[in-house]
Structure 1
Amino acid sequence: MSRNGQSLVPGQPGTSEPTEGSVVFPAAIGDTAMVFGAGVISAGYWFDTHEHPQHQIAWAARGVIAVEIGDGYWVLPPTRALWIPGGTRHRTGTTQGATMRGIFVAPDRCPVSLTAPTMLRVSPLLRELFDHLTGPDTAPTRNPADDNAAARRERAEAVVFDLIEPVDVIPVGARRPVDARAGQVADALTHNPADPRTLDELAADAATSPRTLARLFLAETGISFGQWRTQIRLAASLPLLAEGLPIARIAGRVGYATPSAYVAAFRRAVGVSPGRYFAG
């Protein structure tokens, strides 16, 4: 949302003050296939969970944003974006602050057939086109006589669609259990993924048995406690990867004894190595 209360989401008024910037285009205008919202999101801010009828390409021109959709968690530096199909409930935010572009696509004018949230590769050319389409020379116009501006924008939008390239990765993340005992454990491990306590130790601190705690995680998250813990550790590692920290430092910060153990867990869960996840 901007200082004047506009939202990065077309058709949705904001409810608080996340940005120091301004929204460029808050709603679709004329016959354009795309509309751009732009703003500076302050560190630690998350938009409330919402949905919109348009498809969205969530992208940060500077900084790193994250998107949560159900159990999935995507972290997006400027080399990555996320395709969010229309009608998909999601939550977007940032830990360190970011300049975000909300790129909204009219479904009836969209040649892209992605029906599930999909990470996209943002090449240098695609990045330039995103910035170009946010600028005044290609802004949507209410003047039907301005054929030149409309033609420029239509050509640029067509190239954007041609350049959309999915990245074949598996999203990370896991649901938080709702039971108070399991929730206490989940909150502790989310706050500190490197917490070394075993299941037995965590169960004792939550005043329950290891067997009960394991059963609660499986019943309420759909995966075992060990798998849940791995997902939370990998999710915590993504912002560190996006910031370019060395693998050796990341591994220790999220609870792995060695870099090789972290790389192996990442590859098994995500399908690529950590080094390739954000590679250009």
Structure 2
Amino acid sequence: MSPDGHVVGVVPPGVGAMVLGEFALPVNGWTPAHVHNHHQLAWAAGGVALVEVGAVQWVLPPNRALWLPAGVVHRTGAAGRAALRGVYLDPARCPVDWPAPAMVAVGPLLRELLEYLTHGELTPPARLRAEAVVFDLLEPVAVAPIGAPRPADPRARRVADALLADPADQRDLADFGREVGASPRHLTRIFRAETGLTFGRWRTQARLRAALPMLAEGMPLAAVARRVGYATPSAFAAAFRKGVGLPPAAYFAG
């Protein structure tokens, strides 16, 4: 256990800087929050993996992986069937040392190398050569993570939980206030104080978070927009680009 009570994933030493493994992710559920003594590259060769760091959620189709520095508490899950390829990197031997989680592009060559390192019967020199190419190919994707932290205030939390359950809910703070017994002004203050976001910004983040797994699974943009509460695909695409930094198609581009 770590000092703050989280499970510590201890990675055994490998021939080189990398130790690779594979395990099934819980469908529509999460692993317990845990932390590793190694850096990790979280990647699913098939399906859509989810990684949550605090209130921030990352959605990872097969052409995206997530760099997690050693010591970052996180949990993993899946939007459907997916097997996580855990690529663990010894900080003392890893030439990459990014200090914060970062999304990484997984192109065809990097994908093949990760498969080769996971399943290949390699001599130590061959493994070290392959690892060196992997490090050369690690390329961060400039996207903003999606975060919709839940407020602690019980009335504001009821509002947040309703919108997380149904991001297409069109009620405003006056409607919610009548239901939870709080004025819109009070709820506005609570959201800003406890989440760091205005209510409108928080709602947008919640909608984008709900949209990402659908987009990753290939659902048409119009259907995703409708399911998360936008009247038109263009309105959703504009909100996505403003919130994430890329349009939806570019976010998942190979």
Structure 1-normalised TM-score?
0.85
Q: Which residues in structure 2 correspond to 1:31-180 (within 5 Å)?
A: 31-138=15-122, 149-180=123-154
Aligned partner letter, 1:103: V
Cα deviation code 1:37-96 (max 9, x no counterpart): 201223123111111111000000111011111232110010000000111111111121
1:89 counterpart SS class:
coil
Paired with 1:163 and 1:193, the residues of 2 have a C-alpha distance of 37
Paired with 2:211 and 2:197, the residues of 1 have a C-alpha distance of 20
Q: Which of 214, 226, 236 is the aligned partner of 2:200?
A: 226
Q: Unaligned 5+ residue runs, structure 1?
A: 1-8, 12-26, 139-148
Q: How far is 1:125 from its partner?
A: 1.1
- Are the aligned partners of 1:28 and 1:34 in contact in 2 as well (CA < 8 Å)? no
- Number of the residue aligned with 1:183: 157
Cα deviation code 1:162-204 (max 9, x no counterpart): 1101101111112110111011111110010001111110111
- Number of the residue aligned with 2:230: 256
Q: Unaligned 5+ residue runs, structure 2?
A: 1-7
Q: How far is 1:10 from its partner?
A: 4.0
Paired with 2:219 and 2:14, the residues of 1 have a C-alpha distance of 44
Paired with 1:30 and 1:174, the residues of 2 have a C-alpha distance of 38
- Number of the residue aligned with 2:249: 275
Cα deviation code 1:232-253 (max 9, x no counterpart): 0001110011011111111000
- Number of the residue aligned with 1:29: 13
Q: Which residues in structure 2 correspond to 1:196-207 (within 5 Å)?
A: 196-207=170-181
Q: Which of 183, 191, 212 is the aligned partner of 1:217?
A: 191
Q: How far is 1:30 from its partner?
A: 4.2
Aligned partner letter, 2:71: G
Q: How far is 1:275 from its partner?
A: 1.0
Q: How far is 1:136 from its partner?
A: 4.6
- Are the aligned partners of 2:56 and 2:148 in contact in 1 as well (CA < 8 Å)? yes
Aligned partner letter, 1:157: E
Paired with 1:112 and 1:41, the residues of 2 have a C-alpha distance of 26
Aligned partner letter, 2:153: D
1:57 counterpart SS class:
strand
Q: Which of 263, 266, 277 is the aligned partner of 2:240?
A: 266
Query: What percentage of residue pairs aligned between the two structures are identical?
Result: 55
| Cα pair distance change 1:42/1:91, threshold 3 Å | closer
1:235 counterpart SS class:
helix
Paired with 2:240 and 2:174, the residues of 1 have a C-alpha distance of 25
Paired with 1:157 and 1:93, the residues of 2 have a C-alpha distance of 27
Paired with 2:134 and 2:12, the residues of 1 have a C-alpha distance of 17
1:154 counterpart SS class:
helix
2:83 counterpart SS class:
strand
Runs of 4+ in structure 1 deviating by more than 6 angstroms, as ranges, are none
Aligned partner letter, 1:184: R
Structure 2-normalised TM-score?
0.94
2:45 counterpart SS class:
strand
Q: How far is 1:32 from its partner?
A: 1.9
- Number of the residue aligned with 2:3: none
